[in-house]
Structure 1
Amino acid sequence: MTYQLLKMLHVAAVVAWLGGSLFVSLFLLSSQPQDDDEAPKERKMLGALRRWTLYVTTPAMVLTWLVGLHLAMTFGWFAMSWIWVKIGFALALSALLGIQSAALRRMANGSARRPPLVDLYAPFTVVASAAIVTLVVVKPF
């Protein structure tokens, strides 16, 4: 595959991954214990979001990693410092998706406990994404 196709695949996977992660962040932030009349609506949304995370967001994250690591190995980017900082941010975003998935699972199992630091999930995703884009475009070091 050519570089342009791999880069396009990587960027498309990133958009699906981070878009899904942002949506989960906002859902977790806005979810409140509902009365019995509204609970079925939230449970339906929760089920749909869990399936989306399982079948779209998580595979997009895996594809992002596979294509990104392939590009880095092919073009010798591991010798550059910026890629290691980018990998650090990507690891943190991957861990966040795991935390979010666990929170969705707990909610589906009936836990009303609010996930820790849920207020920071969306802002962290945006800031980390901006940092990654800056590192890739500018390659400051």
Structure 2
Amino acid sequence: MTYQLLKMLHVAAVAAWLGGSLFVSLFLLSSQPQEGDEAPKERRMLGALRRWTLFVTTPAMVLTWLIGLHLAVTFGWFAMSWIWIKIGFALGLSALLGIQTAALRRMADGSARRPPLVDLYAPVTVVASAAIVTLVVVKPF
């Protein structure tokens, strides 16, 4: 029962983390520095997204890591190769969230500069997530 509960919490935390990361990706991709009537609406959206990232997406990422590492230690998964590849992808997704959070902060500070490689944020998130799911379900090695 405890395993099922932890697995459910892990998957729910992953969904919140990746959903938030994808939303930030799409926001950064589509936002442009606004002036005039649209500027206050853009700033409100940016503020709401920064709060969501701070209070939901980032804690979900931390919870995902804590539960995932607990499960890996408890069930001895570190002896298997697939977990190390999964951890590599998860580290990449964690770094991407850090890059996205920094880009949101720069936008809030008034930077009009487009974040580097912003076109790749969403596809990288989707591909890395698919790879992780494949590794978890198939456990190829």
TM-score by length of 2: 0.99
Moved beyond 4 Å, runs of 4+ = none
Q: Which stretch shows the higher mean deviation, 44-53 or 29-38?
A: 29-38
CA displacement at 1:34 relative to structure 2: 1.5
1:46-79 alpha-carbon deviations (Å, 9 max, x no partner) = 0000000000000000000000000000000000
CA displacement at 1:37 relative to structure 2: 1.2
CA distance in 2, matches of 1:22, 1:42: 18
CA distance in 1, matches of 2:138, 2:51: 36
CA displacement at 1:119 relative to structure 2: 0.1
Look up the SS of the partner of 1:34 in the other structure. Answer: coil
Look up the SS of the partner of 2:36 in the other structure. Answer: coil
Q: Give the aligned partner of residue 43 of structure 1.
A: 43
CA distance in 2, matches of 1:111, 1:34: 11
CA distance in 1, matches of 2:97, 2:29: 14
1:102-128 alpha-carbon deviations (Å, 9 max, x no partner) = 000000000010000000000000000
> Which stretches in structure 2 are left out of the alignment for 5+ residues?
none
CA displacement at 1:33 relative to structure 2: 1.6
TM-score by length of 1: 0.99
Q: Give the aligned partner of residue 53 of structure 2.
A: 53
CA distance in 1, matches of 2:82, 2:134: 10
CA distance in 2, matches of 1:135, 1:22: 21
CA displacement at 1:35 relative to structure 2: 2.2
Q: Give the aligned partner of residue 101 of structure 1.
A: 101
CA distance in 1, matches of 2:34, 2:2: 51
CA displacement at 1:17 relative to structure 2: 0.2
- State percent identity of aligned pairs: 91
CA distance in 2, matches of 1:36, 1:86: 46
CA distance in 2, matches of 1:36, 1:99: 29
Task: Indicate the RMSD between aligned Cα atoms, in angstroms.
Answer: 0.7
CA distance in 2, matches of 1:108, 1:36: 17
Answer yes or no: is 1:133 the counterpart of 2:123: no
CA distance in 1, matches of 2:33, 2:106: 13
Q: Which stretch shows the higher mean deviation, 64-73 or 29-38?
A: 29-38
Answer yes or no: is 1:21 the counterpart of 2:21: yes
